[in-house]
Amino acid sequence: KLKEILKGKLGEGPYMGLFSFISLTGILLIVFGYESNSNFIYSINRTALVYSKYIMFLSLTFIVASTLPTYIKKIIRHPMSLGIAIWSCFHLLTNPDVSSIILFSSFLIYSILSLIIAELRNSGIKESSPKIILDVLTILLGVILTFFSYNFHWYLSGVNLS
């Protein structure tokens, strides 16, 4: 596997640094390369707009929960994939332009494939001892991330939410 080869040649730390650099570069290319256009394929789902803050909180909380030993992670076997799927679905409902459909559909397809592959691999979730305090921290971080993503969405993506 490529991952094992790179880890063997570079070492754990440099491999993680390289992987993080490539990931960050990809995210920056998406943000700076994304340009909204007016070629709407369907109409904006107004109900999704009304509830999007709450659903995005749920999505961001699941994403945070994937990194900590929480009861959320124990109950929802793949919270990262589920969080990305929810995030991308709601962005698809509220962004009907062609560029957005391509971008958010890619994330949705990625999260679904990630979930299917993880289940087929039968890569059992590592047994951990969840702590309720980490669930509380996860929810708090979900609130904070939701607050910042809504209030600074313009600076992150160039799209104003108000």
Q: How confident is the model over 85-110, as pLDDT tens digits? A: 999 999 999 888 888 888 899 899 99
What is the structure's pLDDT at 36? 54
What mean pLDDT do residues 151-160 have? 81
Helix ranges (H only) for 34-131 are 46-65, 71-75, 79-94, 98-121
pTM of the model: 0.76
Q: Which of 59, 63, 51, 64 is nearest to 87 (CA)?
A: 59
Lowest mean pLDDT among 11-15, 27-31, 45-49, 84-88: 27-31
